[in-house]
């Protein structure tokens, strides 16, 4: 097996990263509507419940669980696609799905205590007196670490040769969350502050345009996600 990392593949991969980011935040947004009964607000890298929300406890915590659930479902789908018995095309797609879901972001934010998973575990299971805080923290860390490392291990082992593993694996682990932060967290958030026009209450018009662009580009380049791995005898 040989790696074929082309500009067209990258043109498909990064819209996939941005789409999963959007699905993550939109899931928070719609879960908040379901739980609170009123619409919150969306930004390019943020979401908020409506001010009138009066839910609490475990139901309230579900608003925080919805976003990460998207990431884990995508990573698990990628893990299944990377089964060694599958075709190279399907394994290419699986590898792309895993890293487009930004597993490093899930790990780092959970270890820092700032992740949606950390908030969910605290809201859902923390006792009123906070006496089980250490157990809650460790439980969240164990869950996120076990899931991410299990999936990442298969992604590492699927790569050919240790030279490729030591170069491509860290690149796919580190660069996607960095680029996602630069594009969405900084550039588009800055654009949002300049263009505050809203299409519907709480949702900026520019955000809907961004989502449309992502979907169009990804639809046009989707097949390129199947081409990262190829047989050596077919490589140019």
Question: What does the pLDDT look like over 55-83, one tens digit per residue?
Answer: 666 677 888 899 999 999 999 999 999 99
pLDDT at 119 over 70: yes
Taking only the tens place, the pLDDT of each residue in 17-51 is 999 999 999 999 999 888 888 888 888 888 888 88
Q: DSSP assignment, residue 113?
A: T
**Does the pLDDT of residue 54 top 90, yes or no?**
no
Look at residue 84 and tell me whether its pLDDT is greater than 60.
yes
Structural domain including 62 reads 2-234
Residue 235 has pLDDT above 50, yes or no: no
CB 227, CB 6: distance < 8 Å: yes
Least confident of 73-87, 95-109, 110-124: 110-124
Q: How many domains does the chain have?
A: 1
- DSSP label of 223: G
Q: How far is CA 127 from CA 58, 68, 124, 139, in A?
A: 12, 23, 9, 14
| H helix intervals, the chain | 7-36, 57-81, 88-100, 103-111, 116-125, 133-158, 162-180, 189-194, 205-221
d(CA 196, CA 191): 9
pLDDT computed for residue 56 by the predictor: 63
Residues 71, 20 contacting (CB under 8 angstroms): yes
How many other CB atoms sit within 10 Å of the CB of residue 235?
A: 10
Question: So what's the pLDDT on residue 197?
Answer: 55
């Amino acid at each position: 097996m040989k790696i074929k990392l082309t500009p067209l593949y990258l043109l498909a991969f990064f819209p996939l990263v941005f789409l999963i980011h959007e699905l993550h935040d939109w899931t928070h947004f719609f879960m908040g509507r379901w739980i609170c009964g009123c619409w919150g607000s969306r930004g390019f890298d943020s979401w908020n419940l409506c001010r009138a929300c009066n839910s609490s406890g475990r139901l309230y915590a579900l608003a925080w669980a919805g976003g990460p659930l998207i990431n884990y479902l995508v990573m698990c789908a990628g893990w299944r696609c990377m089964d060694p018995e599958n075709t190279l095309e399907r394994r290419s797609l699986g590898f792309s799905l895993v890293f487009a879901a930004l597993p490093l972001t899930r790990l780092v934010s959970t270890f820092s205590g700032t992740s949606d998973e950390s908030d969910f575990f605290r809201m859902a299971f923390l006792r009123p007196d906070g006496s089980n805080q250490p157990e809650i923290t460790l439980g969240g860390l164990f869950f996120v670490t076990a899931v991410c490392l299990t999936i990442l291990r298969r992604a590492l082992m699927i790569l050919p040769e240790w030279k490729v593993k030591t170069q491509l694996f860290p690149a796919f682990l580190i660069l996607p969350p960095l680029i996602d932060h630069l594009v969405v967290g900084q550039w588009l958030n800055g654009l949002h502050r300049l263009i505050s026009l809203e299409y519907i209450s709480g949702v900026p018009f520019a955000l809907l345009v961004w989502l449309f662009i992502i979907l169009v580009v990804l639809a046009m380049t989707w097949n390129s996600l199947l081409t990262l791995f190829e047989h050596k005898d077919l490589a140019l």
